[in-house]
Protein backbone atom coordinates (compact mmCIF):
# COMPACT_ATOMS: atom_id res chain seq x y z
CA UNK A 1 0.00 0.00 0.00
CA UNK A 2 2.91 2.27 0.74
CA UNK A 3 4.15 1.86 -2.80
CA UNK A 4 0.71 2.73 -4.12
CA UNK A 5 0.57 5.82 -1.90
CA UNK A 6 4.07 6.84 -2.97
CA UNK A 7 3.23 6.33 -6.62
CA UNK A 8 -0.01 8.25 -6.17
CA UNK A 9 1.92 11.16 -4.62
CA UNK A 10 4.46 11.08 -7.44
CA UNK A 11 1.67 11.02 -10.01
CA UNK A 12 -0.03 13.90 -8.24
CA UNK A 13 3.23 15.87 -8.21
CA UNK A 14 3.80 15.14 -11.89
CA UNK A 15 0.24 16.27 -12.72
CA UNK A 16 0.74 19.47 -10.70
CA UNK A 17 4.06 20.08 -12.45
CA UNK A 18 2.41 19.46 -15.83
CA UNK A 19 -0.41 21.90 -15.01
CA UNK A 20 2.14 24.49 -13.88
CA UNK A 21 4.01 24.07 -17.16
CA UNK A 22 0.78 24.39 -19.15
CA UNK A 23 -0.16 27.53 -17.18
CA UNK A 24 3.29 29.02 -17.76
CA UNK A 25 3.03 28.11 -21.42
CA UNK A 26 -0.33 29.91 -21.66
CA UNK A 27 1.05 32.98 -19.87
CA UNK A 28 4.10 33.04 -22.14
CA UNK A 29 1.93 32.68 -25.24
CA UNK A 30 -0.24 35.60 -24.09
CA UNK A 31 2.85 37.72 -23.41
CA UNK A 32 4.28 36.72 -26.78
CA UNK A 33 1.02 37.70 -28.50
CA UNK A 34 1.11 41.10 -26.75
CA UNK A 35 4.69 41.66 -27.86
CA UNK A 36 3.84 40.62 -31.42
CA UNK A 37 0.88 43.01 -31.48
CA UNK A 38 3.09 45.82 -30.18
CA UNK A 39 5.76 45.04 -32.77
CA UNK A 40 3.16 44.88 -35.50
CA UNK A 41 1.82 48.31 -34.52
CA UNK A 42 5.35 49.71 -34.38
CA UNK A 43 6.12 48.21 -37.79
CA UNK A 44 2.99 49.77 -39.30
CA UNK A 45 3.94 53.10 -37.76
CA UNK A 46 7.44 52.87 -39.24
CA UNK A 47 6.09 51.91 -42.66
CA UNK A 48 3.71 54.87 -42.58
CA UNK A 49 6.57 57.19 -41.68
CA UNK A 50 8.71 55.70 -44.47
CA UNK A 51 5.90 56.31 -46.98
CA UNK A 52 5.51 59.90 -45.75
CA UNK A 53 9.25 60.56 -46.02
CA UNK A 54 9.41 58.95 -49.47
CA UNK A 55 6.49 61.11 -50.66
CA UNK A 56 8.17 64.21 -49.25
CA UNK A 57 11.46 63.21 -50.89
CA UNK A 58 9.73 62.77 -54.27
CA UNK A 59 8.14 66.21 -53.87
CA UNK A 60 11.56 67.70 -53.05
CA UNK A 61 13.11 65.97 -56.07
CA UNK A 62 10.39 67.41 -58.32
CA UNK A 63 10.95 70.86 -56.81
CA UNK A 64 14.72 70.47 -57.31
CA UNK A 65 14.22 69.51 -60.97
CA UNK A 66 11.90 72.48 -61.44
CA UNK A 67 14.38 74.90 -59.84
CA UNK A 68 17.23 73.39 -61.86
CA UNK A 69 15.26 73.90 -65.10
CA UNK A 70 14.43 77.48 -64.08
CA UNK A 71 18.11 78.15 -63.30
CA UNK A 72 19.19 76.81 -66.69
CA UNK A 73 16.59 78.99 -68.38
CA UNK A 74 17.67 82.07 -66.39
CA UNK A 75 21.35 81.46 -67.09
CA UNK A 76 20.61 81.18 -70.81
CA UNK A 77 18.59 84.38 -70.70
CA UNK A 78 21.38 86.17 -68.84
CA UNK A 79 23.90 84.89 -71.39
CA UNK A 80 21.66 86.04 -74.22
CA UNK A 81 21.37 89.49 -72.66
CA UNK A 82 25.11 89.69 -71.98
CA UNK A 83 25.86 88.60 -75.54
CA UNK A 84 23.40 91.16 -76.89
CA UNK A 85 24.96 94.06 -74.97
CA UNK A 86 27.60 95.73 -77.14
CA UNK A 87 30.98 95.89 -75.44
CA UNK A 88 31.99 98.98 -77.41
CA UNK A 89 29.33 101.09 -75.70
CA UNK A 90 30.50 100.06 -72.24
CA UNK A 91 27.28 98.20 -71.48
CA UNK A 92 28.70 94.69 -71.62
CA UNK A 93 30.78 93.16 -68.86
CA UNK A 94 33.60 90.93 -70.18
CA UNK A 95 33.81 88.98 -66.89
CA UNK A 96 30.06 88.32 -66.90
CA UNK A 97 30.19 87.47 -70.57
CA UNK A 98 32.95 84.94 -69.92
CA UNK A 99 31.09 83.46 -66.94
CA UNK A 100 27.95 82.73 -68.96
CA UNK A 101 29.61 81.37 -72.09
CA UNK A 102 29.91 78.03 -70.28
CA UNK A 103 26.13 77.52 -70.10
Model pLDDT for residues 17-73, shown as the tens digit of each residue? 999 999 999 999 999 999 999 999 999 999 999 999 999 999 999 999 999 999 999
Residue 89 confidence (pLDDT): 53
Q: Are 58 and 73 in contact (CB under 8 A)?
A: no
When divided into structural domains, the chain yields a total of: 1
Residue ranges making up the domain that contains 53: 2-100
Residue 2 confidence (pLDDT): 80
Q: Are 13 and 20 in contact (CB under 8 A)?
A: no
Full-model pTM: 0.56
Amino acid sequence: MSDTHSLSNKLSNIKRCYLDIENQKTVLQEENNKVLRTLSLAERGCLNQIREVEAHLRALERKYDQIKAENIFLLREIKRLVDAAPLSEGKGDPAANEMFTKV
